[in-house]
Amino acid sequence: MVIAVLLFGFSAVNQVKGEDMKTASQWKTLTQTQRRAWNAWAKSNKVLLDDGNTRFVSGRKAMTMVLRNRAVAGEAANPTVVPAAFAWQVGALSLRDAGPWTVNMGFIGFRVEHILAAGTKWFVWATPPLDGNTSNPQAQMRFIKCMTLGALSVNDLVPDIGPAYAPVWGSWDGPGADGAWPTDKYIWLRVMIRCKRSWTWSAITGHAPMKGSWCPA
């Protein structure tokens, strides 16, 4: 059995150093008023960092991280546009009867718990299959993909992210029949929503880890 554990928290996509150099150059091109706007935003809003934590940082660092995530979401990385304040969207997705399954072709996904308009973008991180007593599984998180979803209703399943998971971590099948594992394994997942309306980040729920539903192998 592979068990998914949904972590409601933050992380950031690993990026090359060249992007930091680019944003440093972009910072220099901003007017004094625009820099003050980023500094003011950074004092009131934590940003997602590469180590998976959120912290208050300088305006320049905040701009760097925001532009990174805009690029991953396929948005214009305009350094002159400062985000609105963070908002929260509670419990929009869950792991209820959503995998990861190992039977047949396998499936890793999420169950929709709130009606979602078309165009929401979700960043997903995951671990390889781990033992239940693994210490600090968050440290093994890797970015899987940015999902752009269509309009979805309550109880819908999002499209399978397994094809994006496999190139990062390989198969989640165990050695037994239909991919069964001799002992329970856990895949830890972290999900973030990018709100299209306000272009701000919001977590699905709070920061505390929550154990997902157990799904049959």
pLDDT of residue 199 exceeding 60, the answer is no
pLDDT of residue 31: 96
Same domain for 168 and 110: yes
Same domain for 99 and 61: no
**141 falls within a domain:** yes
SS3 186: strand
**With pLDDT > 90 as the criterion, what percentage of the chain qualifies?**
26
pLDDT one-digit tens code per residue, 108-151: 888 899 898 898 888 888 889 888 888 888 788 888 998 999 99
pLDDT of residue 122: 86
pLDDT of residue 170 exceeding 90, the answer is yes
Amino acid (1-letter code) at residue 33: T
Give the global pTM: 0.73
Same domain for 154 and 178: yes
Alpha helices in the chain (DSSP H): 17-29, 32-44, 59-72, 162-169
**79 falls within a domain:** no
Same domain for 60 and 164: no
- How many structural domains is the chain composed of? 2
pLDDT of residue 43 exceeding 60, the answer is yes
Same domain for 169 and 139: yes
Q: What is the mean pLDDT of the chain?
A: 77
SS3 42: helix
Among 14-28, 96-110, 151-165, which is the least confidently predicted range? 14-28
Which tokens go with 73? 């979401």
Same domain for 29 and 126: no
Buried b (16+ CB within 10 A) or exposed e, 41-58: bbeebebbbeebebeebe
Mean pLDDT of 89-114: 82
Same domain for 37 and 134: no
**82 falls within a domain:** no
Same domain for 187 and 169: yes
Q: Which of 72-76, 88-92, 130-134, 159-163 has the highest mean pLDDT?
A: 159-163
Domain enclosing residue 95, as ranges: 2-10+87-211
pLDDT confidence tier of residue 75, bands split at 50, 70 and 90: confident
Which tokens go with 5? 């554990």
Which tokens go with 25? 């150059």
**187 falls within a domain:** yes
Which tokens go with 109? 């996904």
**80 falls within a domain:** no
Using the Cα atoms of residue 88, residue 89, residue 90 and residue 95 in order, give the sign of their dihedral. Answer: negative
∠ CA 141-130-207, nearest 5°, is 45
Mean pLDDT of 29-57: 86
**169 falls within a domain:** yes
Do the beta carbons of residue 56 and residue 43 sit within 8 Å? yes
